[in-house]
Structure 1
């Protein structure tokens, strides 16, 4: 039934249009339910189970389709905010405030009651949640459940419309957050007097307790360990330093910083031990109660309270549901069954929130647990039999068995989650299986254990609670040292292209066959060989960059916000990146968030060359990551000195990696096919702003079209190019200086005479990039203007009979449905003549 429900949810990915109202489908499912009941009560045959599978498939489809729509309520804040607007909000602080690693920026979630826009005289009802960011400290007298009046600038969250990049708006929509905002000043937050009822006090008690614990941790633990303790105890990673998070990822132990089954298991074992030990002290209770079952039942409410404090993410909910089912089975003496246990937890989560199925957290969590439950016993039986034959039952045998079992658990979890990690993050830690053996005990059995013990004493007996926290912090300090050691090892982690979905399915198919091989009376070596072959095929094709797709001349103008990045592929397989920068406030860089994921999503692990038209940050600040992980052979630049020291450092690191850096000269060709040419290096030419925006003018030619990349040159340089009669005519033009009014002279556009002009610019400065008159200028000269702010990543693909232009947009305007590529227009050979 769980698998049928999962298939029903998955089928929503292939449905182009989902009706907002599903009454016909509800009626069909109700009639189907009556059919199942009649078959069951009349015939009582096994056909009812097949009917149940169809029913649960329909229920999964219905439940998921209902959650894949915008909020329908007209009072919802999503339907009230179309463009960026300033308003006064009245609402309730929904959860504990979160801080960044430096503690100078606060994020809060507010549940709305009403709002008032700038030009309105009265407040109007409003519903929904808003995620707000405040630059500064959060007022200490405001707690979850308090009523607030907040003045903020509101907008719909935006994502980069580029395949492979992190879809922020989709991530928030799955949390039922459709609007974000900025609070410019702490004075714009005011607490309103409101009397809380008993229901509200109970509702917000876990978050208030969470905030109180966070404050006590802040006052007790050293600043460098505070964020880590809040992460493992409260599920709040916002205070963990970005550098430390990267080290945890490289060491393969990032999962420890998320509240999961490990944490709940340790807490459950601790509670069971304490209750069991306390109950055994009473002779009366020993005679009247089953102590083990009673201790287990007493542990459950505490686990439920703790899970509500930690935010109820998917791994925590899964662990609580599984714990509850195990305890219930224990109390009624039911035989345990791992498949039913795991599927029950999955079904319970997905019935409440079916979109959890598409999250990395849900998939990683269940893949790891399923592997430990099903694959580990098979391997343990194979290894333990040979180990016991070679070693008698001694201290060495027991210690060795424990080490082997621990290593197997880590290895099995790694094998089960590696494809999912590569699909979502393009990264896998090679030292993870070993690092977990060292770091998990330090964090979970030392720091976390003392942290759990300290929680009640922080309020009952503060000195003892603080002593326990400080004792546990020594374990965290030791763990950080180990994390830094493993992360610093050569090849501790690798970045690889996104594995194709069919390859992932093949991998898990053979992995499943390995588990059930004995039941099918087949040798385990046969499906195991399939697993190895699947892995080898992926690794060889990735590491050696084997081209499995048809090679065509194509240009992709990536949506990088206010910046420029164009990826070019030639029929010969030559790959080139012209510029690679974006908004400077992005963290991490645009290279890591947008450009690299786009390349990985296409299965690319290496590029041949990089051209930097000029050293402005919005043209190169993403390139250090690209150069580090895609190993180009040459970098063309217009100058070795930039406007800031970062450009010189970038070139130094490139040379240290053995990459050639070369000044491009007028008329020079980049590669042997003579398709990529430097038309002019205008760096030393006089320009409108002392030549600061001068640089390389690059032309790339294909079979059916050519493209010109003039960088940020301005009008004075454009006129100089015209006077010297350079070969500028091209079918595609990347608008100079992002469509600025200081560039794009009419004479320049007429000389190039492009069919299409692409403007690489962000959504935040639409008044200036492109400037308002550019569209009229293009219409006057029969030029089609396309902006990355509107069309997302723009792909131009050459073909046998012309070329096609593709854009990317949010499917049906709904962030929950993700980003989809669509055809903008097609130019045939007949129209090109």
Structure 2
């Protein structure tokens, strides 16, 4: 008990912060959802217990009870934050969420973010009503507007405006593993989003600059807007976009290929204003202020000018935090800087972890949702690992401290220190990067050695020098920025080089959260000065075990023990992507595309996260039904992230540039291109894939159907998947002409499950074809929210009349078919949760041998 008491007394702030964070985690995980109403009573009881223990001089018990108070307090603070956010938007009427066109008036709340195609702006709403303006009613809250095109330059933060827009509630994800945009906005206090079709539908209302209740916020945002405009006017687009990220925290204008090169090189943190930038600015401010104070002999005699210089840095750092947009990373860095300066100035710093814990507690008190954000976790993991690891390598041995000992050259010590810091930060953040982003850079240490000096010692120096003189001496500021832009160009080139190296990025499924926490705890034990050698060795073994768990999906060992077949129809909107996880460990993807927009890739944003959530690290086969973009445009990203052994295609079509480019990419990556003939083309014990109604011939000339009424879609590859529990037909986009051909020429055309042809269109799914297939379930992959076209009214009528169960990805989300001992069951995932259906027993036997004989007889006819 005495050891526990000493540990708590020495690290009370650290333990209190950990307990407070634990309370936030319990609330957000839903583990205490049913006990929230009684939490205030529980808090008072524990607080009374802590007071009684302290009164009785039982300090250990009092401190343990105090930690219990921190745990409950974390839950209460999180609940209070949710209540405040709901109240913030309570003034927005529910009628605005119906998708109808409305007029809204308000004020531009902050700096507009634009990628050149779409502009996104947050609006403080004052009034809202119908588009005809007949019924404008007072409202309050925030709405995020997406404008197609450039934002009007006349509208700056704080200006009053009127917008004609369509409002809606952002949708929760219907595919496990994908980014929850609704939850992300809700934690920012935004419950409604709007779309503006043209900047012409945005007009200023008055010449007012600020609104009385938020004058300081608007003035800060207008200053950020002015700085951004000056940067755009002084530099070319790419250096201006990079300086906007480094100086005011706006990286929306950086092209996606440049961002991807920074991610691939493991230097993305350079573009986020964080501890590195704030520390660099603090060092320069301290040097300047200290130099000025030393000019006065009177000040040096009356004050400790070093401490005074540190304290005077705080208001200037606070001003820069506001100019940087008060983003979470820069706020964290500022708070940590304040704690460190206070500890140094008061000469009461005992452990750097105390300052880190104080900064974390302050941030979580202000915004408890920061705990679950990747930037919060990565920042503190990096700082913690640097504090633990670097002293063990950078401390000077006693024999090297004597004047006679040969000292290493300064540049060597600096280079070695930079390497140690980079390695320490990488060790601490690697599992979290893998957990949140499914990627780890293998070149991050080398890339940081090349990039950080360019940014920290060159680009940022000239950027900080130019920042205060931008409004006063714009010509001089432009010259300084141009000099700094040379380093930015070199940084882009360096990141592109490192990211292009083979195996520069490793993509893996998200590891179990337990393995991540165990890894971090073991790393802390290895690096901490206290543990014995045996304990360090045990912790090192734990680290190795955790790393093995993280990289195991690459081997496919666990998947090889898979005992059931599972097929997922992934909700990609209007498109198609079907994942088959078959026994024995085989992973096959049928199609992977959707209707896309600039900057959106369904392969990277929807299909890949789902595969990682399922623990898939590599694809064995990819089957593409035909050369329509909404069936293959996500495949290039999937090849880069997962690879594949074989790519099965219906034909080669050089006339479609995107499809031909995909084929060339696959060949360059060593993926084998195959073109299945009629009959089985993939089979192992327990499952088989067959091509139905196929034709032979060279890949360039191969076509499945050439009737006069046939279309290009009729050349789709029609695949029959048979397992021991169910069978499924995936017909691509074939139309009624190809369906008629299949009915007339294919002896075996039955299946338990049918993926509706052409997304349930009226030009497909003929009654003859559906009657012949006779499915138990019909699944439609569609993004038609109104259901006017997909699935068609005729198809709905047919399934109702024949009592076929109809499932659509738009209505049910991602649909999963799981083979069982007696048949199969179907689950659907919508709005963040799985909804299990009743199990179904297959109507027809799945005798692969008998079906094979039927197919062989059919092939003999040809």
TM-score bracket, normalised by the shorter chain, equals: over 0.9
* Correspondence for 2:766: 745
* Correspondence for 2:699: none
Instruction: Report if the CA contact (8 A) 2:509-2:553 is conserved.
Output: no
* Correspondence for 1:813: none
Counterparts of 1:756 and 1:706, CA distance in 2:
11
Alignment of 1:242-257 (within 5 A): 242-257=256-271
* Correspondence for 2:70: 56
Whether 1:399 aligns to 2:411 is yes
Whether 1:111 aligns to 2:132 is no
DSSP-derived class of the 1:84 partner: strand
Task: Please report how far the alpha carbon of residue 517 of structure 1 lies from its aligned counterpart in structure 2 after TM superposition.
Answer: 6.0
Whether 1:10 aligns to 2:31 is no
Alignment of 1:30-49 (within 5 A): 30-41=44-55, 43=57, 45-49=59-63
Alignment of 1:635-654 (within 5 A): 635-641=647-653, 644-654=656-666
DSSP-derived class of the 2:98 partner: coil
* Correspondence for 1:91: 106
Whether 1:296 aligns to 2:310 is yes
* Correspondence for 1:815: none
Instruction: Report if the CA contact (8 A) 1:736-1:744 is conserved.
Output: yes
DSSP-derived class of the 2:724 partner: coil
Counterparts of 1:162 and 1:391, CA distance in 2:
65
Cα distance, 1:76–1:805 mapped onto 2, change above 3 Å: farther
Task: Please report how far the alpha carbon of residue 529 of structure 1 lies from its aligned counterpart in structure 2 after TM superposition.
Answer: 3.3
Task: Please report how far the alpha carbon of residue 23 of structure 1 lies from its aligned counterpart in structure 2 after TM superposition.
Answer: 5.2
Alignment of 1:592-603 (within 5 A): 592-603=604-615
Cα distance, 1:796–1:16 mapped onto 2, change above 3 Å: farther
Deviations 1:203-228 (A, max 9, x none): 21211111111111111122221111
Whether 1:128 aligns to 2:149 is no
Task: Please report how far the alpha carbon of residue 402 of structure 1 lies from its aligned counterpart in structure 2 after TM superposition.
Answer: 2.4
Instruction: Report if the CA contact (8 A) 1:761-1:789 is conserved.
Output: yes
Alignment of 1:727-806 (within 5 A): 727-764=748-785, 766-806=787-827
Q: Which of 721, 724, 746 lines up with 2:742 in the alignment?
A: 721
* Correspondence for 2:850: none
Cα distance, 1:131–1:118 mapped onto 2, change above 3 Å: same
DSSP-derived class of the 1:524 partner: helix
Counterparts of 1:429 and 1:108, CA distance in 2:
33
Instruction: Report if the CA contact (8 A) 1:497-1:542 is conserved.
Output: no
Counterparts of 1:734 and 1:68, CA distance in 2:
41
User: RMSD between aligned alpha carbons?
Assistant: 2.7
User: Which deviates the most, 427-436 or 167-176?
Assistant: 167-176
User: Which deviates the most, 221-230 or 654-663?
Assistant: 654-663
Whether 1:334 aligns to 2:348 is yes
Whether 1:496 aligns to 2:517 is no
Counterparts of 1:151 and 1:549, CA distance in 2:
57
Counterparts of 1:387 and 1:537, CA distance in 2:
42
Instruction: Report if the CA contact (8 A) 1:666-1:680 is conserved.
Output: yes
Deviations 1:386-420 (A, max 9, x none): 99499975463543332222111000100110111
Cα distance, 1:195–1:505 mapped onto 2, change above 3 Å: closer
Counterparts of 2:619 and 2:344, CA distance in 1:
58
Instruction: Report if the CA contact (8 A) 2:692-2:746 is conserved.
Output: no
Cα distance, 1:637–1:830 mapped onto 2, change above 3 Å: closer
* Correspondence for 2:182: 169
Instruction: Report if the CA contact (8 A) 1:614-1:637 is conserved.
Output: yes
Alignment of 1:191-202 (within 5 A): 191-193=204-206, 194=208, 196=210, 200-202=214-216
Counterparts of 1:72 and 1:731, CA distance in 2:
49
Task: Please report how far the alpha carbon of residue 47 of structure 1 lies from its aligned counterpart in structure 2 after TM superposition.
Answer: 1.7
Whether 1:695 aligns to 2:705 is no
Unaligned runs of 5+ in 1: 811-818
DSSP-derived class of the 1:692 partner: helix
Counterparts of 1:284 and 1:72, CA distance in 2:
55
Counterparts of 1:281 and 1:199, CA distance in 2:
43
Task: Please report how far the alpha carbon of residue 82 of structure 1 lies from its aligned counterpart in structure 2 after TM superposition.
Answer: 3.4
Instruction: Report if the CA contact (8 A) 2:165-2:197 is conserved.
Output: yes
User: Which deviates the most, 213-222 or 821-830?
Assistant: 821-830
Q: Which of 151, 157, 166 lines up with 1:153 in the alignment?
A: 166
Whether 1:486 aligns to 2:507 is no
Counterparts of 2:351 and 2:545, CA distance in 1:
32
Instruction: Report if the CA contact (8 A) 1:159-1:166 is conserved.
Output: no
Task: Please report how far the alpha carbon of residue 473 of structure 1 lies from its aligned counterpart in structure 2 after TM superposition.
Answer: 1.4
Deviations 1:612-671 (A, max 9, x none): 111110111111222333332222222211662111121122122332222222224323
Deviations 1:70-89 (A, max 9, x none): 82578443744433221111
Instruction: Report if the CA contact (8 A) 1:761-1:769 is conserved.
Output: yes
Whether 1:616 aligns to 2:623 is no
Cα distance, 1:467–1:336 mapped onto 2, change above 3 Å: farther
Instruction: Report if the CA contact (8 A) 2:23-2:74 is conserved.
Output: yes
Deviations 1:243-263 (A, max 9, x none): 111111111101000110000
Alignment of 1:196-345 (within 5 A): 196=210, 200-345=214-359
Alignment of 1:558-573 (within 5 A): 558-573=570-585
DSSP-derived class of the 2:718 partner: strand
DSSP-derived class of the 1:460 partner: coil
DSSP-derived class of the 2:347 partner: coil
Counterparts of 1:284 and 1:717, CA distance in 2:
95
Counterparts of 1:521 and 1:162, CA distance in 2:
47
DSSP-derived class of the 1:704 partner: coil
Deviations 1:644-699 (A, max 9, x none): 21111211221223322222222243234461111123733437553434311111
Whether 1:678 aligns to 2:699 is no
* Correspondence for 2:551: 539
Instruction: Report if the CA contact (8 A) 2:399-2:405 is conserved.
Output: no
Unaligned runs of 5+ in 2: 1-15, 695-702, 847-862
Task: Please report how far the alpha carbon of residue 125 of structure 1 lies from its aligned counterpart in structure 2 after TM superposition.
Answer: 2.4
Counterparts of 2:23 and 2:117, CA distance in 1:
45
Task: Please report how far the alpha carbon of residue 422 of structure 1 lies from its aligned counterpart in structure 2 after TM superposition.
Answer: 0.9
Counterparts of 1:684 and 1:495, CA distance in 2:
40
Instruction: Report if the CA contact (8 A) 1:615-1:642 is conserved.
Output: no
* Correspondence for 1:446: 458
User: Which deviates the most, 538-547 or 164-173?
Assistant: 538-547
Instruction: Report if the CA contact (8 A) 1:75-1:125 is conserved.
Output: no
DSSP-derived class of the 1:128 partner: strand
DSSP-derived class of the 1:306 partner: helix
Instruction: Report if the CA contact (8 A) 2:752-2:843 is conserved.
Output: no
Instruction: Report if the CA contact (8 A) 1:542-1:603 is conserved.
Output: no
Counterparts of 1:370 and 1:203, CA distance in 2:
33
Alignment of 1:373-392 (within 5 A): 373-381=387-395, 384-385=396-397, 388=400
Task: Please report how far the alpha carbon of residue 789 of structure 1 lies from its aligned counterpart in structure 2 after TM superposition.
Answer: 1.3
User: Which deviates the most, 542-551 or 765-774?
Assistant: 542-551
User: Which deviates the most, 689-698 or 411-420?
Assistant: 689-698
DSSP-derived class of the 2:440 partner: strand
Whether 1:821 aligns to 2:842 is no
DSSP-derived class of the 1:671 partner: strand
Instruction: Report if the CA contact (8 A) 1:668-1:678 is conserved.
Output: yes
Deviations 1:124-175 (A, max 9, x none): 2222221112223322222111111111122222354212222222222222
* Correspondence for 1:433: 445
Counterparts of 1:386 and 1:572, CA distance in 2:
59
Cα distance, 1:545–1:107 mapped onto 2, change above 3 Å: farther
Q: Which of 366, 370, 380 lines up with 2:380 in the alignment?
A: 366
DSSP-derived class of the 1:139 partner: coil
Cα distance, 1:600–1:114 mapped onto 2, change above 3 Å: same
Counterparts of 2:93 and 2:422, CA distance in 1:
44
DSSP-derived class of the 2:514 partner: helix
Instruction: Report if the CA contact (8 A) 2:562-2:584 is conserved.
Output: no
Task: Please report how far the alpha carbon of residue 744 of structure 1 lies from its aligned counterpart in structure 2 after TM superposition.
Answer: 1.7
Counterparts of 2:660 and 2:818, CA distance in 1:
35
Counterparts of 1:643 and 1:168, CA distance in 2:
37
